[in-house]
Amino acid sequence: VQLQASGGGLVQPGGSLRLSCAASGTIFSIGVMRWYRQAPGKQRELVAFITSGGRIDYVDSVKGRFTISRDNAKNTVYLQMNSLKPEDTAVYYCNADLEYYRGTSYRNTWGQGTQVTVSS
């Protein structure tokens, strides 16, 4: 099972990007899905999460600008990023708790990163 992230790129300040992360392979269910980011020289930080029941939260620095959502039928999580700032520049990683088979423990799984650069 893999988590495949896409959608990063170069955008000007004030612009928008939409990140996607799809889980491929045999999965019975997905629990919490998350987006993290890591800027150069900084620790990785949790940006947003969404539970299977739809509970959502964000780090304060992105509230009002970023929106996390998920499509359970597609095993995909999205991160809509609006009003981007240079300080949003980072490698963004998706992360999810995957239940491979019914009744087994959830496994925390990371996707590969996708670079987001906000610059004029």
- Between CA 64 and CA 55 the distance in angstroms is 16
- Please give the C-alpha separations between residue 97 and each of 29, 30, 83, 108, in angstroms, as whole numbers: 9, 6, 29, 4
- Between CA 104 and CA 41 the distance in angstroms is 37
Find out whether 68 and 35 touch, Cβ atoms under 8 Å: yes
Mean pLDDT of 102-109: 93
Mean pLDDT of 99-109: 93
Rounded to the nearest 5 degrees, what angle is found at the Cα of 97, between the Cα atoms of 93 and 99?
Answer: 140
59-79 pLDDT per residue, tens: 999 999 999 999 999 999 999
* pLDDT for the residue numbered 1: 76
